[in-house]
Amino acid sequence: MMTLEELPGIGKARLETLENAGIHTLRDLLTTLPSSYRDTTGSLAPEEMEQGLEGCVEGIVQRVGKPSFFKGRSTVRAVLALEGGTMEMVFINQPWSADRFKTGEKAVFYGRVTRMRSGRWGMYCPSPVTERAILPEYRALPSIPGKTLRKIIQCALEHLEECCPETLPADLRKRWRLCERNFALRQAHFPTDRESLKIALRRMAFEEMLLYQAAASMARGRREEGIAIRVPDDAAERFFARFPYRPTRAQERVLEEIRQDLCGPNAMGRLVQGDVGSGKTAVAFGSMYFAYLGGWTSALMAPTEILARQHYESAGAVLGPLGMRLALVTGSLKSRERKETAERIRAGEVDAVIGTHALLSEDILPPRLGLVVTDEQHRFGVKQRKALTEKGEKANTLVMSATPIPRTLSLILYGDLDVSVIDEMPPGRIPVKTRIVPEEKREGLYGFIRAEAAAGRQCYIVCPLVEENESLDVRSAQEEYAVLTQGPLKGLRLGVTWGAQKEEEKQKTLAAFAAGEVDVLVSTTVIEVGVNVPNASVMVIENAERFGLSQLHQLRGRVGRGGGEAWCFLMASPNPRLKALCESTDGFRIAEEDLKQRGPGDFLGTRQHGHALLPALALGGDSALLTECAACVRELNTGPYREERAQVYAEAEKVYGEKMKGIAMN
């Protein structure tokens, strides 16, 4: 069988690059799918335009401006006349574009559609199209550009038959309408048309998820023996008796599931999902109380220092009166305070330790660690969670997420974790009122913000992440802050924070907002998780059409946490997608809608290492495919398909066996 180094164009350096990327054989190479496709076979009509859509536009060049210069950067603006409308083409740092395109000429461009400040649709730095085709685009590797990798794969495809045998049983393929694997691989790399590509990606995505779920099923069945914690039957009643309100039935159900896990012989690995405000933290504290009753310590890790401190204060009010001794460990503790805290923990004088990733330090060693809780678990990598769990001997693991995810997707994202859903909100919580605000009503919105500030309440203004070549039409958080402090919100106390800001400055700004020292916090989505300000009553989201529905719902959950009336204003032109958010406050329903509209790609995204967990599913999956795959797994596990099941599970072990050992609970 041919080896990688025998392929044309692969020398020693490129071979090393491929091996570092996990590509060791021809089969590995051919199953490395494109990261996306550039489809220039058709053109978008004006009525098909929507924010973020990629595609071709064809028209007549109506006008081309001369290059303008600002801060050393050139900009050329052109107008393209389509059938039934016009589009703006903006070329950044391409001054030659002013002479390249002539008025009256026909032109075809490929790019990402965006709404310009003028209200017109447009594209930034679109590529001129000379060939109508569906071209694969590969993730560039060091010393191997995407185009070079495409040529290498094209050569490798000549040896496809000898290195990539069929992996799924013929009868299973027939029942679930799946094409042969080699047809799928050829079309996935070099599609002849849209329909063939769709058929190919469906096959690859189906196989990927089927094998992953089979591997997860095996991992659940092999869950190792863990610490059995003896928890009294009435422990939950004793815990909730300390609360000023009755727990919801969902909280009671989930806490009982956790109690049964802790009492069992195998290590618990459970995800608790619930909307913002559904009472996940109370359930986490209840599980820590269970560990305490059984004579074990627990650790809770939060993604930010502010959230860790808030959990520590809340735990003090709930768990302190129950006799539990608590400690806080964060990166900002002074040397002497940290040393004293570490000594208390090692001496067994602490029943529960709460902190940030500082809990992973070698000097933090809780004795008899029986339970590890991670909050907003998607903010931590697998290695971080594993490092904390290994401080105990086969400790039980509980992870919490306020990001509603459709159940079919949770099967993928959380591997071998059992999933609990808190699908009920505590009585009395007032839903956040959500409204779409067009540009012409902006001044009225600023007046409303001033009135809220005068009444002692606070406001978030969230700006989207801005790519450098978009900054002319979409303001960054820093630019928005500068404009507001000198203009519409002058005189109010404003703060600003963004992702790349120095951590110390970011924490200082968030702490000031949490303490009520800032009236309006201008930020990127860095505030989506990790800050709880009950006094915040207004959330303004600029360019709301650029966000996914689930992310908008997450941001909306930052306000109204104090029990009063709260508002979320979406700065955008009205569209059906945003109207769906205005009509519902159910995070799981919104997540399902988001999945239908955008597919699983945005959910799977950059899980831990900067690329999709299941690339084929991210490329070619949809909610219907997820449902079909789940049905196929049930069919194999319960139906008369023993031989098929054995073949699929053997393949799953081969592909995902080692990976599953490091996913989710481990």
Q: Is 249 a domain residue?
A: yes
Q: Is 399 a domain residue?
A: yes
Residues 6+ apart with CB under 8 A from 447: none
Supply the CATH number for residue 35's domain. Answer: 1.10.150
Residues 326 and 463 in one domain: no
Residues 379 and 511 in one domain: no
Supply the CATH number for residue 71's domain. Answer: 2.40.50.140
Residues 344 and 475 in one domain: no
Q: State both tokens at 3.
A: 């080896």
Supply the CATH number for residue 530's domain. Answer: 3.40.50.300
Residues 306 and 383 in one domain: yes
Q: Is 81 a domain residue?
A: yes
Residues 140 and 123 in one domain: no
Residues 358 and 469 in one domain: no
Residues 304 and 446 in one domain: no
In terms of residue numbers, what domain contains 372? 235-264+276-403
79, 109, 128 - which closes a domain: 128
Q: Report the b/e string of 297-314 with b at 16+ CB within 10 A.
A: bbbbbbbbbbbbbbbbee
Q: Is 420 a domain residue?
A: no
Q: Is 593 a domain residue?
A: no
Three-class secondary structure assignment of 171-230: HHHHHCCCCCHHHHHHHHHCCCCHHHHHHHHHHHHHHHHHHHHHHHHHHHHCCCECCCCC
526, 554, 584 - which closes a domain: 584
Q: Is 195 a domain residue?
A: no
**How many structural domains compose the chain?**
4
pTM: 0.72
Residues 153 and 92 in one domain: no
Residues 85 and 145 in one domain: no
Taking 50 as the pLDDT cut, the residues of the chain under it are 378-382, 469, 471, 606-611, 662-666
At 628, which amino acid appears?
E
Residues 244 and 373 in one domain: yes
Residues 314 and 442 in one domain: no
> Are 90 and 70 spatial neighbours (Cβ–Cβ below 8 Å)?
no
Q: Is 598 a domain residue?
A: no
128, 143, 171 - which closes a domain: 128
Q: What share of the chain is helix, strand, coil (3-state, %, to 5)?
A: 45, 20, 35
Q: Is 281 a domain residue?
A: yes
pLDDT at 165: 92
Residues 451 and 474 in one domain: yes
